[in-house]
Amino acid sequence: MKILLSMFPGCVVLAALLSVSVVANSGLFVFEDLDENTDGWIDRSEAMVRHDLIKNWKIIDSDNDGVIGDLEYLRYEGRELYVPPYDSQDLDPGAGPI
């Protein structure tokens, strides 16, 4: 999977979407489950069921508008799926991509 993600960066978005579905199947919440009033946003009162959302609110709410949108939520849920295209520690300082 790591090779696939490094070869096709667009797969990261697909993997994030798939991970949200997996989260739903494991008994946790998907965006639509958390958005109780179906306004398209998760506010702090709706996020109270997920301690990790409250704990990481300032990181997740990247535009600081006080709510979490679907893209912010997907970015947060897919945070462990990101695989850089190459190991930047192997490059010489100032070297460009190979």
pLDDT digits (tens, 9 = 90+) for 8-28: 555 444 444 444 443 433 346
Is the pLDDT higher at 70 or at 88? 70
Task: Tell whether pTM > 0.75.
Answer: no
Reported in sequence order, the residue ranges of 1-98 that DSSP labels E, i.e. its strands, are none
Mean pLDDT over the full length of the chain = 73
* Contact criterion met (CB below 8 Å) for 73 and 80: no
Residue type, 26: S
* Contact criterion met (CB below 8 Å) for 21 and 27: no
Neighbours of 52 (CB within 10 A): 11
Domain 2-82 has CATH 1.10.238: yes
